[in-house]
Structure 1
Amino acid sequence: MVVFLKPSLFLYNSVLLGSLPVFVGFAGLEFLDLSNNRLGGAIDLELDGLVGLRSLNLTLNNFTGSVPTRPGKSKVLKELRLTMNMFHGIIPVDIVGCRNLTLIDFSVNNISVPDRIGELSKLEVLILSSNSLSGEIPRSLRNMTSLTRFAANSNNFNGPIPAGIPKHLRNLDLSYNSLSGSIPSELLSPLNLQIVDLSNNRLNGSIPTALSPRLVKLRLGSNSLDYVIPTAAISTLQHLTYLELENNTLTGLISPELGYCQSLALLNLAQNQLSGSLPVELGNLSHLQVLKLQFNKLAGEIPIQIAQMSKLSTLNISWNSLNGSIPPSVASLKNLINMNLQGNNLSGSTPENIGSMTSLMELQLGENQLSGRIPSMPITLQIALNLSSNLFEGHIPVTLAMLTGLEILDLSNNKFSGEIPLALTQLGALTQLILSNNQLSGEIPKFSSWVFVNTSGNEGLTNSATPSTSPESKKKGKPVSLTIVLWAVAAAIFAVGGIAIFLYHY
């Protein structure tokens, strides 16, 4: 697209090819946008004639070489966007001479940053994501008193987070680096701070208790943070929407005070060492859409108040030590798509009204002590139905054949008996049927070639291709074909080998 609005030239998304032309006669040009084209090569003197340039956008091209030293020799340049190119080497020190710069976006290149970057005292936005930045974060950043957004995620920064991060900061993203040490006590406290992402680093120590009252998103997952969650401070954050503290070594209880964070849409405390019971006050989180508490040490029963989370779409409290029965009230969660209760000590029967969960696509109930009749399941199930390693017995219910969109059905390690329902062969979306280690008998129905069927550990089952071994056939002594021998050998190897190709996600 070509747009010329004096003193602006917009040639973004115009399928331009080749190298950058020399701009002659454009001394009055203030805004130049060449983004989303196929321009390439190094940039040398091509921009020197743009002495009045205020904004340059070269995003999404194939430029190489070093970053242009003084774009247009302009002393009024305010915005410089070079995102998603192939620039490399250190950011030229001459860039520091552009003292009017308020925005720099050098993300997705292969560059490194000079220590003097902090001399750009008017800079408001600095984006350095997805480069080859290494070493420590420049301490000169503290001099950028106007900085409101700093993103340096997906780099190779190491060492501690420097103290003195600018007080006007609103958005801080240092995720996916190798930062270590503790989180500076004042880092999360600037009054304007709204978004913080320090996930996927090597940070340790406790979570600071001084938190900005305007925090909307706090992501500290996949570090080595310990001690307890500072719930007293977090509970005062009325704007907090995302709280992600997963994959740390946090201890203590899930405090009832979390129920005061009524703006929460996502709460992820998975893979820690949290203990105690699920507080009933979590039911007050009426806006919550995702609740992940898997791989902790939680005990007690699932509170019926969980049904008050009417917007919940993902519920994962697997691999804890929860006991008691599954409350029938969970069936009122009409927006729930994924429910994972696997790996607990839940007992009793599956709620009879579970079939009314009309949005449910995945149900994981394996590794519990559930028993009784298997009720009609939601016909919306698609990803997986896992009832493995429980105490179910009797015939496999033919109603499972109504789950026409289901891809994975796991009924292994129970006490199911009788024949495999022929109707299961009509499940057109099925890719895995796992029936191993039950008490099934009869002939194994013929499933489509793309369906992996595991029936090992059922002594009473026979394959439809297995030849008859009746006394009459032995007496006649008819020769056995090579095909039948190979089928029998394969079946024997399969029964002894017992392979498993499916890993459930949590």
Structure 2
Amino acid sequence: MYGVNFQDSKEWVQTLNSLPLLESLYFGDNNLTTIPTSIIGLNFTSLKTLPIDGNEFNSRIPDWIGQLTTLTTLELLSCSFVGQIPSQLDNLTSLNFLALGEHYLKGPMPSLHNLKNLTELYIWNVNIGEDIRMVVNKLPNDTLDKLEIFWLLNTSLIGNLTGWVSKMPNLKELVLSYNNLNGMLPTTIGNLTSLETLCLNKNNFTGEVSEAHLTGLSNLKWLILGPNYLNLTMNMNLIPPFQVEYLFLPNCKLGPYFPLWLQNQSQIIRIVLSNTEIAEMVPHWFWNLQSLSFIDLSYNHMRGGLPLSMEHLTNLNVLFFNNNLFEGGIPHLPQSIEYVDLSNNLFSGNIPHCFPNALVVVNMAHNNLSGAISSSIGNLNLLRILKLNNNSLKGQLPLELKFCQHLIVLDLGENKFEGQIPKWIGENLRNLTFLRLRSNLFSGTIPIQLVKLQYLQILDLSDNKIFGMIPQDMGFLSSMAFLDGNSDNSAYGDFVRLHSLNNVFNTVPEVKPAKQRV
């Protein structure tokens, strides 16, 4: 009964209690707000599957769950449960799947020594706050030996991986992201031959990662190690036994050379090598990885030019090459591209005349681009961010730009644009929160139509040839935070963080919901 609105139901558990032969109960996203903490005369003890997610109980996990000893699947996700993780979970001796997530629950972790059939454990956004070795010791050895999924994501754990990883030889997913774990990665990780997902990002791990950590992982699909303080020292001639799909190594030390072992990763979909101290050109073979949908090579010292065309990368959605030393012209981009950040490089020449229509974010600020903006910019009716500031662009703003009516950030500052500030900016670009045209050659008066920008927070028209009075009605711009200043473009940063899928720190695989598991 997923998605059924039971908002006003207060007796739903009592109703279910009249169904003693019930084996599966799916209550997710039902707008439930009440759940009894105890039940006298519990009858539905034949229950095997109980996923409850997406409700707002704001109460502790009920005691009666511990009486459902036939449960094999218990999924308590996003229900605003509070208090401690209940010790009654240890009564569920048939359980093989346990998921607790996104609650206001706190530790310590109770003993789970009776859960000898458990194979999948998902816990995230729960404040356990213990040494991870103590948590592992609360599971029976029989369970450790057969455990396939071990998630402790954002659970305030401390400690390291030494001495216990080898006790889980059949792991397929090890996800320990967003904790306070430290120390070196044990080479025994390389013995987990069934491992498909390794997510250790956003911890304080140190030391080296060599081929000894990886050459035994023939089934690896997700390798997410950064940000941490790790130094990848793998042999340049290494041919890994795996075909990774997701590779996230931000803030790890890889450079100065581009990792040659990537050229055999023909199935790679997302790659993030930002701030990894790479200081050479992108090798030609990299552009043959046609499965790529997400590339982030930002904040390195990479140099040289890009290929004239990337149109053969038909799956590419996100391209972040900002803050490097790339030069030459802007390549022709694939029609699938949505987010492009090439800012803070040495690119020169004209902006491409034809942009892909799917573009949502375009940032080419702080380069050496010249020429005019093509009228084809008007075809980008999904565009939300356009940053071309700090270049040498010239001419008048194309009239077709008014068709980009979803724009929230328009930054054309520090260029050589001329003519009057167009009236259509205020008449057509009604969603703007940030408008920056400073340090150009604009002339004339400030158009009164700008008062129609009711969401505008930052307006910078300084250092132009504008004259006359500031329109009196400018006072009606109620959302205005700054008028004429050097403010940072916070709207751009917020939008990219929320919408560009560049928040790699939160990147983890998804739990397969119970309704898809049976």
Shorter-chain TM-score bucket reads 0.7 to 0.9
**1:153 equivalent in structure 2:** 177
Deviations 1:129-172, CA, capped at 9 Å, x for gaps: 12121010253222322211121111111112222221111122
Change (3 A) 1:444 1:146: same
How far did residue 430 of structure 1 move? 3.8
How far did residue 400 of structure 1 move? 3.8
**2:469 equivalent in structure 1:** 443
2-side partners of 1:21 and 1:126: how far apart?
A: 32
Q: For residue 395 of structure 2, give the secondary structure of its aligned residue in structure 1.
A: coil
**1:466 equivalent in structure 2:** none
Q: How does 1:252-291 map to 2 (within 5 A)?
A: 252-280=280-308, 282-291=310-319
Computed over aligned residues only, the root mean square deviation of the Cα atoms, in angstroms, reads 3.2
Deviations 1:203-243, CA, capped at 9 Å, x for gaps: 2345675545432211122444433232x432332321111
- The answer to whether the Cα contact below 8 Å between 2:360 and 2:384 also exists between their aligned partners in 1 is yes
- The answer to whether the Cα contact below 8 Å between 2:92 and 2:114 also exists between their aligned partners in 1 is no
Q: Which runs of 5+ in 2 are unaligned?
A: 1-11, 497-518
- The answer to whether the Cα contact below 8 Å between 2:270 and 2:295 also exists between their aligned partners in 1 is yes
Deviations 1:287-319, CA, capped at 9 Å, x for gaps: 10111111111112213xx23x01111111001
**1:413 equivalent in structure 2:** 439
**1:485 equivalent in structure 2:** none
1-side partners of 2:52 and 2:441: how far apart?
A: 67
Aligned with residue 81 of structure 1, among 99, 121, 125: 99
Change (3 A) 1:438 1:453: farther
**2:258 equivalent in structure 1:** 229
More displaced stretch, 188-197 vs 142-151: 188-197
2-side partners of 1:53 and 1:428: how far apart?
A: 55
1:101 matched to 2:118? yes
Report which of the two structures shows the higher radius of gyration computed on alpha carbons.
1
1:72 matched to 2:91? yes
How far did residue 343 of structure 1 move? 0.3
Change (3 A) 1:435 1:151: same
Aligned with residue 62 of structure 1, among 78, 81, 85: 81
Aligned with residue 142 of structure 1, among 166, 177, 196: 166
2-side partners of 1:292 and 1:240: how far apart?
A: 16
Q: For residue 257 of structure 1, give the secondary structure of its aligned residue in structure 2.
A: helix
- The answer to whether the Cα contact below 8 Å between 1:354 and 1:378 also exists between their aligned partners in 2 is no
**1:335 equivalent in structure 2:** 358
Percent of aligned pairs with the same amino acid: 27
**1:19 equivalent in structure 2:** 37
- The answer to whether the Cα contact below 8 Å between 1:199 and 1:220 also exists between their aligned partners in 2 is yes
Change (3 A) 1:500 1:149: closer
- The answer to whether the Cα contact below 8 Å between 2:427 and 2:452 also exists between their aligned partners in 1 is no
Change (3 A) 1:102 1:345: same
TM-score, structure 1 length as denominator? 0.79
**2:186 equivalent in structure 1:** 162
Q: Which runs of 5+ in 1 are unaligned?
A: 457-497
**1:365 equivalent in structure 2:** 388
How far did residue 174 of structure 1 move? 1.5
Change (3 A) 1:455 1:153: closer
Aligned with residue 128 of structure 1, among 142, 147, 152: 152
Change (3 A) 1:7 1:264: same
How far did residue 53 of structure 1 move? 4.4
Aligned partner letter, 1:164: T
Q: How does 1:460-479 map to 2 (within 5 A)?
A: none
- The answer to whether the Cα contact below 8 Å between 2:342 and 2:363 also exists between their aligned partners in 1 is yes
- The answer to whether the Cα contact below 8 Å between 2:457 and 2:482 also exists between their aligned partners in 1 is no
More displaced stretch, 427-436 vs 315-324: 427-436
Change (3 A) 1:80 1:361: closer
Q: For residue 354 of structure 1, give the secondary structure of its aligned residue in structure 2.
A: helix
1-side partners of 2:76 and 2:88: how far apart?
A: 14
Aligned partner letter, 1:245: L
- The answer to whether the Cα contact below 8 Å between 1:339 and 1:364 also exists between their aligned partners in 2 is yes
1-side partners of 2:329 and 2:409: how far apart?
A: 25
TM-score, structure 2 length as denominator? 0.77
1:388 matched to 2:403? no
Q: For residue 371 of structure 1, give the secondary structure of its aligned residue in structure 2.
A: strand
